[in-house]
Amino acid sequence: NAGVTQTPKFQVLKTGQSMTLQCAQDMNHNSMYWYRQDPGMGLRLIYYSASEGTTDKGEVPNGYNVSRLNKREFSLRLESAAPSQTSVYFCASSLPNNEQFFGPGTRLTVL
């Protein structure tokens, strides 16, 4: 079991560019999440998906879109990147009412 995998590990974008962060899990979990982690601010929920075909906004959804492609995959898209979106992005997954398992993260820099 690979658990939760994320690609890419690192990415540098210029302001205005777009990109998609990929996340996949092989634990047959129903729920998947995207967080961002900034220094001194802990992790903040961007979007989550309680099941295939559903998505909901978290605490900081502005500037992001998500797609729950199937039960395994949950992608996060930045349509027009801004320097304020420089952060480390974590994907997580879980069964209902169970612990969340996190991926290794994607470090994104927007210049």
Partner 1 sequence: GENVEQHPSTLSVQEGDSAVIKCTYSDSASNYFPWYKQELGKGPQLIIDIRSNVGEKKDQRIAVTLNKTAKHFSLHITETQPEDSAVYFCAASIGFGNEKLTFGTGTRLTIIP
Q: Which residues make up the interface to partner 1 (CB under 8 A)?
A: 4, 31, 33, 40-45, 48, 50, 56, 58-59, 90, 92, 94, 96-105
* Residue nearer to partner 1 on the CB measure, 58 or 63: 58
Q: How far apart are CA 88 and CA 62, in angstroms?
A: 16
CB of 80 to partner 1, least distance (A): 27
* Residue nearer to partner 1 on the CB measure, 14 or 40: 40
Contacts with 75 (C-beta within 8 Å, 6 or more apart), sequence order: 20, 21, 22, 23, 66, 67, 69
Phi and psi angles of residue 84, each rounded to the nearest 5 degrees, phi first: -65, -15
Phi and psi angles of residue 83, each rounded to the nearest 5 degrees, phi first: -55, -30
CB of 61 to partner 1, least distance (A): 12
Question: Which amino acid is residue 71, in one-letter code?
Answer: K
* Residue nearer to partner 1 on the CB measure, 14 or 97: 97
CB of 99 to partner 1, least distance (A): 4
Q: Which two tokens stand for residue 8?
A: 């890419």
* Residue nearer to partner 1 on the CB measure, 17 or 102: 102
